[in-house]
Amino acid sequence: MQKNYGHKKRKKRKRKKKEEKNEQLDALVQKCYETVGEELAHYKKGKLHRALTVLVKSPRWFDLLLLTKPKRWTTQATFEVTRLFSSGLKEKEVCIYYEFILLPIILDNIERNKKLETFLYKTLIKALYKSKAWMRGMLYPLLRRVGLSLYKC
Q: For 45, which DSSP code? A: S
* Contact (CB, 8 A) for 115 and 75: no
* Sign, CA torsion 43/48/49/54: positive
> So what's the pLDDT on residue 39?
96
pLDDT digits over 12-59, tens only?
Answer: 666 665 565 556 668 899 999 999 999 999 999 999 999 999 999 999
* Contact (CB, 8 A) for 33 and 51: yes
Q: For 117, which DSSP code? A: -
- Does residue 73 form part of some domain? yes
- Does residue 131 form part of some domain? yes
Residue 128, SS3?
coil
Reported pTM: 0.80
> Taking the CB of residue 81, how many other CB atoms lie within 10 A of it?
24
How many domains would you assign to the chain? 1
- Does residue 149 form part of some domain? no
- Does residue 152 form part of some domain? no
- Does residue 61 form part of some domain? yes
Domain span at residue 126 reads 6-144
For residue 17, what are the CA distances in angstroms to 2, 9, 12, 23, 39?
A: 28, 12, 9, 10, 33
- Does residue 150 form part of some domain? no
Return d(Cα 103, Cα 75) in angstroms, integer. 13
